[in-house]
Amino acid sequence: MNTFKEKFKGYLKSKGLSFTSARINVFNATLAIYGHFSVEDVFLYLRKIRKSTSRATTYRTINLLVDGGFISEIAIYNGRTIYEWVFGKEPHDHLVCIKCGKIMEVHKQKVKNMTKEVLKKNGFYPVNHRITIKGYCNKCQKKEEITKKNNNKS
């Protein structure tokens, strides 16, 4: 974790920005919230642990983490952008349920191979990679089928 923090500190310095206690708090919160998170999740977590950081500072710091390549936007659900840590992690893709918001990670070699093949074929060097497939999870598909059956009885 110290490596991540040092990299973020270096990134801020390269932008002429300070590594303030508020930015440290937001940085630490994004690591403490395991998995996927929204800015609101980070803000509420900070309030819960009694770290005083404004919503504006939370948003600005999240944007810095995105711009620096530490975290990535993976989906928008109910008007909220969902993020995850990508720095130091193997690239992967996501399935997002548009009904309940469930996010499933896809770590499949076939997808990685296909992506590499497409990049190579097109002579393309990626700096970011994100594939998100939106649809209905198994649970919500079953609920939808029940709703469809009930509507057909009327």
3 state DSSP class of 17: coil
**Residue 35 pLDDT:** 82
Q: Does 27 or 110 have the greater pLDDT score?
A: 27
Q: What is the mean pLDDT of residues 21-29?
A: 93
Q: Convert the pLDDT of each residue in 52-87 to its tens digit.
A: 789 999 999 999 999 998 988 887 778 888 888 887
Rounded to the nearest integer, the mean pLDDT of the chain is 84
Q: Convert the pLDDT of each residue in 34-55 to its tens digit.
A: 788 999 999 999 999 988 789 9
Whole-angstrom CA distances from 102 to 35, 77, 83, 86, 108 are 12, 9, 13, 19, 19
In order of their start, the domains of the chain are: 1-89 (1.10.10.10), 91-154 (3.30.1490.190)
Element (H, E) at 151: helix 138-153
pLDDT over threshold 70, residue 151: no
Between helix 55-67 and helix 2-14 the angle, nearest 10°, is 90
